[in-house]
């Protein structure tokens, strides 16, 4: 997993046969609100397609464009929020104008996909091809879910090809009548060797010197199962205590920030949970290698980048079996239902059995060898987006 961006672009050109680009396409990459893995995926798609010689314009919110590497692709700010707004009409009008000159529109996210579908209209000869990559499922209250279902239906009936980041999202689109649906290729991140050997004191500070070390890397938000993590931590602490009621030397570090931090801190203090909220960290690979068990407590995931990183680190992984987690893990993790007792039992089992941890770590290393890379994404883009 050490290819550079330039190497990926070179491989993309080789795959597409576009070094001289005899069939240069005009490709519009469109994104709504995006962060983390989705933002990285948008940038990598644009970078690969532009590197293969195509004329690529990225239309996305300013915060998505800021600081990202889009290679040779051009970028233009376009505000597509997470929810419908009065400005959506102007977005549709702009995408309609741009779409008339494009050969392909590749939209990322359900909102961007639906707005592009409205702009391009129904499938017909001469219309730009519409490819939509769906990164998340609609979550929220009844109204949010209902709106999400309408958007899914619109995308399913108008997109020429849909790429979904998890098998359950793919099946949802098929059930709504989508013509062509495939599982999206999400390349594993390149490992940065600078983050593998930080100061020992920096790594140890995440666990405050505890001898038994659990780790979760996640945004502190509802989808990541923060309440589930804290429920599980209480059970793990109880299971680790001996007959006298004394707890073992255990700490669970949680690397990440988000809106749930204040509530989590209050509960950790109130219940004396062995959980350390350590904020955003630049040494995640080193933390994963130092942890006894890496735990994912998400309530839903697409193809989680942090799970790919844990596999690359050869970590002993326990993860909730939700969304695309199993497809991402490729047999390299212990998967359990998103329930506190199931998680606690799996974690405690690994904490108590060093040989079991070693076996799970070996499974992770083997699975990491099968993770997709930029070349795999280039091949999918050639087959689906370029589609000669």
Per-residue pLDDT tens for 34-53? 887 889 999 999 999 999 99
Rg for the chain, CA atoms, rounded? 22
Instruction: Name the residue with higher pLDDT: 12 or 150.
Output: 150
Quickly count: other Cβ atoms within 10 Å of residue 173's Cβ: 22
Torsion angles phi and psi, residue 364, rounded to 5: -65, -45
**Which residues, including other chains, have CB under 8 Å from residue 229's CB and lie 6 or more apart?**
216, 252, 254, 275, 295, 297
Angle in degrees, 0-180, between the axes of helices 5-16 and 374-381, rounded to the nearest 10: 30
**Which residues, including other chains, have CB under 8 Å from residue 156's CB and lie 6 or more apart?**
162, 173, 176, 177, 178
pLDDT score for 246: 46
244 pLDDT above the threshold of 90: no
Q: Among all chains, which residue has been given the structure tokens 């890496």? A: 294
Q: Measure the N-to-C terminal CA separation of the chain; round to a whole number of Å.
A: 29
pLDDT score for 242: 59
pLDDT in tens, 327-366: 999 999 999 999 999 999 999 999 999 999 999 999 999 9
pLDDT in tens, 313-334: 999 999 999 999 999 999 999 9
Instruction: Name the residue with higher pLDDT: 217 or 282.
Output: 217
**Which residues, including other chains, have CB under 8 Å from residue 329's CB and lie 6 or more apart?**
307, 311, 317, 319, 335, 367
pLDDT score for 43: 95
From the centroid of its chain, how far is CA 381? Answer: 18
Report, as an integer, the average pLDDT of 191-213: 73
φ/ψ region of 77 (left if φ > 0, alpha if ψ in -120 to 50, else beta) reads beta
Domains and CATH numbers, the chain: 5-187+372-386 (3.40.50.2000), 193-368 (3.40.50.2000)
3 pLDDT above the threshold of 50: no
pLDDT score for 89: 94
Query: Which percentage of the chain shows pLDDT scores above 70?
Result: 89
Residue 28 token pair: 């519009």
Q: Among all chains, which residue has been given the structure tokens 């879910």? A: 145
Nearest to 131 by CA among 381, 302, 372: 381
pLDDT in tens, 205-216: 899 889 999 999
């Amino acid at each position: 997993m050490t290819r550079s961006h330039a190497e990926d672009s070179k491989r993309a050109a080789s795959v597409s046969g576009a070094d001289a680009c005899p069939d240069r396409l005009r490709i519009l990459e469109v994104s709504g609100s995006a962060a983390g893995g989705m933002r990285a995926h948008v940038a990598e798609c644009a970078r690969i397609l532009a590197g293969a010689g195509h004329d690529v314009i990225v239309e996305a919110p300013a915060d998505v464009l800021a600081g990202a590497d889009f290679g040779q692709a051009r970028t233009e700010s376009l505000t597509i929020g997470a929810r419908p707004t009065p400005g959506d009409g102007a977005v549709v009008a702009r995408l309609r104008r741009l779409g008339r000159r494009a050969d392909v529109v590749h939209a990322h996210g359900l909102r961007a996909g639906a707005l592009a579908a409205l702009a391009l209209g129904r499938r017909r000869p001469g219309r730009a091809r519409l490819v939509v990559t769906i990164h998340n499922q609609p979550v929220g209250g009844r109204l949010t879910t209902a709106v999400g279902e309408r958007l899914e239906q619109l995308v399913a009936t108008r997109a020429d090809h849909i790429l979904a980041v998890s098998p359950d999202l793919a099946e949802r689109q098929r059930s709504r009548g989508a013509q062509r649906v495939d599982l999206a290729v999400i390349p594993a991140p390149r490992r940065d060797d600078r983050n593998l050997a930080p100061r020992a004191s920096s790594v140890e500070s995440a666990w405050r010197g505890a001898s038994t070390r659990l780790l979760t890397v996640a945004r502190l938000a509802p989808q990541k199962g923060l309440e589930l993590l804290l429920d599980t931590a209480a059970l793990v602490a109880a299971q680790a205590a001996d007959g006298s009621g004394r707890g073992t030397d255990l700490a669970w570090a949680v690397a990440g920030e988000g809106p749930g931090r204040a509530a989590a801190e209050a509960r950790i203090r109130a219940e004396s949970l062995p959980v350390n909220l350590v904020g955003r960290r630049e040494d995640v690979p080193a933390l994963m290698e130092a942890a006894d068990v890496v735990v994912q407590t998400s309530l839903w995931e697409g193809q989680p980048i942090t799970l790919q990183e844990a596999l690359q680190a050869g970590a002993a992984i326990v993860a909730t079996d939700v969304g695309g987690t199993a497809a991402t893990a490729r047999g390299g993790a212990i998967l359990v239902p998103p329930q506190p007792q199931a998680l606690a039992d799996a974690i405690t089992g690994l904490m108590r059995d060093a040989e079991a941890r070693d076996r799970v770590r070996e499974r992770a290393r083997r699975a990491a060898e099968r993770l997709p890379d930029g070349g795999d994404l280039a091949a999918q883009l050639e087959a689906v987006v370029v589609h000669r």
